[in-house]
Amino acid sequence: MLSHLLRLHGIDSIVLESRSRDHVEDRVRAGVLEHPTVELLCRNGLGERLKQVGLKHDGIWLSFGGVRHFIDMKELTAGKSITVYGQNEVIRDLIKARLDAGAEIAFEVENLSVHDLESATPRIQYRHNGAAHEVVCDFIAGCDGFHGVCRPSIPDGVLSVYGRAYPFAWLGVLAEAAPSSEQLVYTHHDRGFALFSMRSPTLTRLYLQVDPEEHIDNWPDHRVWEELKLRMTTRDGWSPHEGPVTQKSITPMRSFVVEPMQFGNLFLAGDAAHIVPPTGAKGMNLAIADVAVLARALREFYANGRRVLLDQYSESCLQRVWKVQRFSSWMTSLLHRNACENPFDRRRQLAELEYVVNSRAAMTTLAENYVGLPLDND
């Protein structure tokens, strides 16, 4: 995304990807795009297929006590909404746009390392197709995820690290089943959280709260469906449609932030700098917000030679990051069961759910954050 935004302003870049093109285009991950993310993609020539096949949602359901309660985000936020469009589909659109523009993308690179980060000419070394390569550049954008090489290349003592590991994980499944609801359904249940989502008119995406030490082999398909039905079936008879499970995985949940998000001429973005629990559907959107800020700062530098926005990159991004961490943590604590809870905690949680679905002010706060805070870019 950063490479695409830079090209629109005549700034050259090279994308180095450790995985294959098939892997990044086919791996099913996040799927909810905030309103500002959709606007940014469409405004920059990436909205054609999104508009054709993306599923626009005007609200979400909160379900507890066997009853679903609708949060009308469109009405509460003066017409804003979210769009279900898989992260792999966004990646597919971006790769096509970059290659159609003649940009350089190197897939399946190996042994990548970054050097001279505080100099005016930082370097990237890697191997590709069996040959050694070196890129000498003005800036490096570390968009390489939590396990990438960029953040660990920053010297010890520079970064402050903030984190929290949650005492539960999500078991996620992708099923060949037509969605049984037009909107996402977030379920709070005595047995644990569950989420109904979708990826297309024929694919349903579902999640179950499980123990972080749980093993996927303990969850054959029939057990997954039994547990989903137990948690999600409502008093009016609604439940997710069943179908063949095509993908299944367990993902631990954590919050993570490093400060600052820059060192010398290296700028961290996305999961390299922060991770949010998936309850609020913010990870991909937060990464796109980062590079929108970085693209604007780089445009200013190349147009006018000023580094003010580059120097403010971390501060600008972290204002949004911490607001999103707050919301994602709140959504997680609102909907999940914690083994450490006592009866007081349980009753307080139910009272908060009742308050949220019966207070316009509370619903508006949820809706404003869920559809996405405004992007800090022009």
Which residue, among 301, 7, 288, has the nearest Cα to 139 in the 3D structure? 301
pLDDT at position 205 is 94
Domain assignments of the chain as residue spans, ordered by start: 2-59+78-163+254-371, 165-253
282 assigned to active site: yes
The catalytic residue among 57, 188, 189, 274 is 57
166 assigned to active site: no
Sequence-ordered list of residues with C-beta below 8 angstroms from that of 29, at least 6 positions apart, any chain: 86, 87, 88, 284
Q: What residues are paired with 198 via a beta bridge?
A: 204
Q: Which CATH class is domain 165-253?
A: alpha beta
What are the pLDDT tens digits along the chain (378 aa)?
A: 999 999 999 999 999 999 999 999 988 777 899 999 999 999 999 999 999 999 999 999 999 999 999 999 999 999 999 999 989 999 999 999 999 999 999 999 999 999 999 999 999 999 999 999 999 999 999 999 999 999 999 999 999 999 999 999 999 999 999 999 999 999 999 999 999 999 889 999 999 999 999 999 999 999 999 999 999 999 999 999 999 999 999 999 999 999 999 999 999 999 999 999 999 999 999 999 999 999 999 999 999 999 999 999 999 999 999 999 999 999 999 999 998 889 999 999 999 999 999 999 999 999 999 999 998 654
- Sort strands 203-210 and 160-175 into parallel, antiparallel or unpaired: antiparallel
* pTM of full prediction above 0.85: yes
Identify whether the C-beta of residue 122 lies closer than 8 Å to the C-beta of residue 116.
Answer: yes
Which residue, among 4, 32, 173, 202, has the nearest Cα to 104 in the 3D structure? 4
234-242 long-range CB contacts below 8 Å, 24 or more apart?
234/63, 234/66, 234/67, 234/68, 235/66, 235/67, 236/68, 238/68, 238/180, 238/181, 239/180, 240/177, 240/180, 240/181, 240/196, 240/204, 240/206, 241/177, 241/178, 241/179, 241/180, 241/204, 242/175, 242/177
Distances (CA, A) of 118 to 132, 210, 261, 264, 354: 23, 44, 14, 4, 52
Which residue, among 204, 362, 352, 366, has the nearest Cα to 279 in the 3D structure? 366
Interior angle at CA 43, CA 37 and CA 46, nearest 5: 75
85 assigned to active site: no
Which residue blocks in 77-202 are alpha helix, DSSP H? 87-100
pLDDT at position 45 is 96
The catalytic residue among 189, 274, 278, 336 is 278
CATH code that applies to domain 2-59+78-163+254-371: 3.50.50.60
The catalytic residue among 186, 188, 207, 336 is 186
User: How far is the C-alpha of 311 from the C-alpha of 315, rounded, in Å?
Assistant: 8
